[in-house]
Amino acid sequence: MSKDFFQRVYKIVSQIPEGKVATYGQIALLLGEPRSARIVGWAMKAAPEELKLPCHRVVNKFGEMAPSYVFGSMEFQRDVLISEGITFKENLCIDMKKHLWSGPKDI
Protein backbone atom coordinates (compact mmCIF):
# COMPACT_ATOMS: atom_id res chain seq x y z
CA MET A 1 0.00 0.00 0.00
CA SER A 2 1.08 3.52 -0.64
CA LYS A 3 1.91 6.29 1.79
CA ASP A 4 -1.27 7.91 0.48
CA PHE A 5 -3.28 4.96 1.86
CA PHE A 6 -1.84 5.58 5.33
CA GLN A 7 -2.67 9.29 5.06
CA ARG A 8 -6.26 8.44 4.11
CA VAL A 9 -6.49 6.11 7.11
CA TYR A 10 -5.21 8.87 9.39
CA LYS A 11 -7.76 11.33 8.01
CA ILE A 12 -10.60 8.95 8.90
CA VAL A 13 -9.20 8.01 12.32
CA SER A 14 -8.76 11.69 13.22
CA GLN A 15 -12.53 12.10 12.88
CA ILE A 16 -13.60 9.33 15.29
CA PRO A 17 -15.31 11.24 18.12
CA GLU A 18 -14.95 10.60 21.82
CA GLY A 19 -17.44 7.95 22.96
CA LYS A 20 -17.28 6.09 19.64
CA VAL A 21 -15.04 3.43 18.12
CA ALA A 22 -14.35 2.21 14.61
CA THR A 23 -13.08 -1.14 13.40
CA TYR A 24 -10.12 -1.85 11.15
CA GLY A 25 -12.47 -3.40 8.62
CA GLN A 26 -14.86 -0.45 8.77
CA ILE A 27 -12.03 1.96 7.99
CA ALA A 28 -10.87 -0.23 5.10
CA LEU A 29 -14.42 -0.31 3.74
CA LEU A 30 -14.74 3.48 4.04
CA LEU A 31 -11.57 3.76 1.96
CA GLY A 32 -12.98 1.51 -0.74
CA GLU A 33 -10.44 -1.19 0.17
CA PRO A 34 -12.61 -3.77 1.99
CA ARG A 35 -9.88 -6.42 2.07
CA SER A 36 -7.30 -4.12 3.68
CA ALA A 37 -8.19 -4.28 7.38
CA ARG A 38 -4.73 -5.60 8.30
CA ILE A 39 -3.07 -2.78 6.41
CA VAL A 40 -5.22 -0.34 8.38
CA GLY A 41 -3.70 -1.98 11.47
CA TRP A 42 -0.20 -1.44 10.09
CA ALA A 43 -1.08 2.21 9.43
CA MET A 44 -2.20 2.54 13.05
CA LYS A 45 1.05 1.02 14.28
CA ALA A 46 3.06 3.40 12.06
CA ALA A 47 1.04 6.51 12.96
CA PRO A 48 3.35 9.41 13.79
CA GLU A 49 2.87 10.55 17.39
CA GLU A 50 2.80 14.19 16.34
CA LEU A 51 -0.52 13.57 14.57
CA LYS A 52 -2.09 12.84 17.99
CA LEU A 53 -4.58 10.42 16.45
CA PRO A 54 -7.14 8.68 18.65
CA CYS A 55 -5.72 5.28 17.68
CA HIS A 56 -7.13 3.81 20.90
CA ARG A 57 -10.60 4.20 19.32
CA VAL A 58 -9.82 1.65 16.59
CA VAL A 59 -10.64 -1.91 17.64
CA ASN A 60 -11.42 -5.23 16.02
CA LYS A 61 -14.90 -6.18 14.86
CA PHE A 62 -15.66 -7.93 18.15
CA GLY A 63 -14.86 -4.84 20.21
CA GLU A 64 -11.69 -6.34 21.63
CA MET A 65 -8.68 -4.30 22.66
CA ALA A 66 -5.46 -4.14 20.66
CA PRO A 67 -2.68 -6.53 21.65
CA SER A 68 -0.74 -5.47 24.76
CA TYR A 69 2.33 -4.35 22.82
CA VAL A 70 0.33 -1.60 21.07
CA PHE A 71 -0.63 0.61 24.04
CA GLY A 72 1.44 -1.03 26.75
CA SER A 73 -1.50 -3.09 27.92
CA MET A 74 -5.07 -3.88 27.03
CA GLU A 75 -6.07 -2.43 30.40
CA PHE A 76 -4.56 0.95 29.49
CA GLN A 77 -6.57 1.12 26.26
CA ARG A 78 -9.71 0.02 28.11
CA ASP A 79 -9.17 2.66 30.82
CA VAL A 80 -8.79 5.44 28.24
CA LEU A 81 -11.93 4.31 26.42
CA ILE A 82 -13.90 4.12 29.69
CA SER A 83 -12.78 7.67 30.52
CA GLU A 84 -14.32 8.71 27.17
CA GLY A 85 -17.65 7.07 27.97
CA ILE A 86 -17.22 3.71 26.22
CA THR A 87 -19.03 0.86 27.98
CA PHE A 88 -18.03 -2.78 28.02
CA LYS A 89 -20.00 -5.99 28.20
CA GLU A 90 -19.31 -8.72 30.75
CA ASN A 91 -16.93 -10.43 28.31
CA LEU A 92 -14.74 -7.26 28.44
CA CYS A 93 -15.59 -6.34 24.83
CA ILE A 94 -16.95 -2.95 23.83
CA ASP A 95 -20.71 -2.69 23.43
CA MET A 96 -20.42 -2.23 19.64
CA LYS A 97 -24.15 -1.69 19.13
CA LYS A 98 -23.93 1.34 21.36
CA HIS A 99 -20.52 2.75 20.42
CA LEU A 100 -19.77 1.88 16.78
CA TRP A 101 -19.14 5.09 14.86
CA SER A 102 -21.31 5.68 11.80
CA GLY A 103 -18.44 7.12 9.79
CA PRO A 104 -16.99 10.46 8.77
CA LYS A 105 -18.83 13.37 7.25
CA ASP A 106 -16.39 13.32 4.33
CA ILE A 107 -13.46 11.18 3.24
Q: Which residues are catalytic?
A: 55
Q: Work out the number of other CB atoms within 10 angstroms of the CB of residue 22.
A: 23
What is the C-alpha to C-alpha distance for residues 62 and 64, in angstroms, rounded to an integer?
6
Work out the end-to-end distance of the chain between its first and last CA atoms, rounded to an integer number of angstroms.
18
